[in-house]
Amino acid sequence: MSTNQIGLTPTECKLVLATGGDFQWTFRYDGGNYPAGSSLYFIVGEDQWDFTISGDTATIKIESAVADLVPTQTRFRLIFKETTTPTTETVIAYGTVTRVGR
């Protein structure tokens, strides 16, 4: 039994932002509809980017005027928040921003 890791390991990845382009993404919830009151959001540097949730679909659109301000190598986290008591916040993915098109 390995003792060098405890708990779930979120995925480490790159958040690719294209200069001059809006950032858009969609997630589908595998378990049917997203639980009532739950939220999905990115923390990018000091900013929070919220998804809009409808049924089993979460969508996000960040205008290029905002996305273009994020420098390469900025740290980010993708978080799913459930309205359990106490509230459960799960980091799904984390990593750094990569810029393309500069």
At residue 60, the pLDDT reads: 98
Residue 85 has pLDDT above 50, yes or no: yes
**pLDDT value for 3:** 56
Q: What percent of the chain has pLDDT over 90?
A: 79
More confident residue, 4 or 81: 81
| pTM confidence score | 0.87
**pLDDT at residue 2 tops 70:** no
Average of per-residue pLDDT across 18-24: 97
pLDDT reading at 1 higher than 50: no
* Long-range CB contact pairs, 18-22, < 8 A, 24+: 18/99, 18/100, 18/101, 19/64, 19/68, 19/99, 19/100, 19/101, 19/102, 20/64, 20/68, 20/101, 21/64, 21/67, 21/101, 22/61, 22/62, 22/63, 22/64, 22/67
CATH of domain 11-100: 2.60.40.10
